[in-house]
Chains A and B, each alone.
Chain A
Amino acid sequence: NEKKKKESIFDLSKYIDKPIRVKFQGGREASGVLKGFDPLLNLVLDGTIEYMRDPDDQYKLTEDTRQLGLVVCRGTSVVLICPQDGMEAIPNPFIQQQEG
């Protein structure tokens, strides 16, 4: 039986040396410069900042951040990767506007 070759559906090398945003299972979020990665989506980020969550609502971000420096992110925990300049916060588009 031929073993199925593990192919990546996405090439992270275009993000090397660029700042990226990473979201994790459990709600943590961080951003940093991508210095390396492997096929299992483990990442090496430099100059990493973690965005801290509201203690009362763990899915809400606060203004608080902390500096972590050079960090290895476990691919098993990563749920989203995007370029840092490819995202912005917007008002909730799903709230029904009350008609006067």
Chain B
Amino acid sequence: LAACPCLNSAMFNLVSELVDKCIGSRIHIVMKNDKEIVGTLLGFDDFVNMVLEDVTEFEITPEGRRITKLDQILLNGNNITMLIPGGEGPEM
């Protein structure tokens, strides 16, 4: 189903199950605006605020600017639109 090694082909009824299985793996987050984040998922809460590490931030609208951050970030779940387990981010 996906490139993420932690997933099998079972159907998911609960979305939180899917995200939970991705803890420890790379995940690609698409925001409501033109920003995308790729990082290793350390954890998340009921509001899908996320703690990520080894993070790369992408701005899509300009020619493809890339900002790399290391260490850990807390990503506010307010503006998250899509979560892509095992994703490596947009092609640049």
Chain A interfacial positions (CB closer than 8 Å to B): 16, 24-26, 28, 30, 35-38, 42-44, 46, 48, 50, 55, 66, 68-74, 76-77
Contact = CB atoms under 8 A, between A and B. Distances in A.
Given A25-B32, A55-B61, A77-B32, A71 B14 contact: no
Contacts of B37: none
Q: Tell me if A's interface is mostly helix, strand, loop or mixed.
A: strand
Contacts of B3: 69
A16 B2 CA distance: 18
B23 interface: no
A43 B18 CA distance: 11
B19 interface: yes
B1 A74 contact: no
Contact of A38 (B2, B11, B14): B14
A61 B35 CA distance: 18
Question: Which of B31, B48, B80, B82 is most buried by chain A, counting CB atoms within 10 A of its CB?
Answer: B82
B82 A68 contact: yes
A38 B17 CA distance: 11
Contacts of A35: 11-12
Interface string B70-92: 00000001101111111100110
A56 to B, nearest CB: 10
B15 interface: yes
Given A28-B30, A55-B61, A74 B81 contact: yes
B87 A69 contact: yes
Contacts of B77: 74, 76
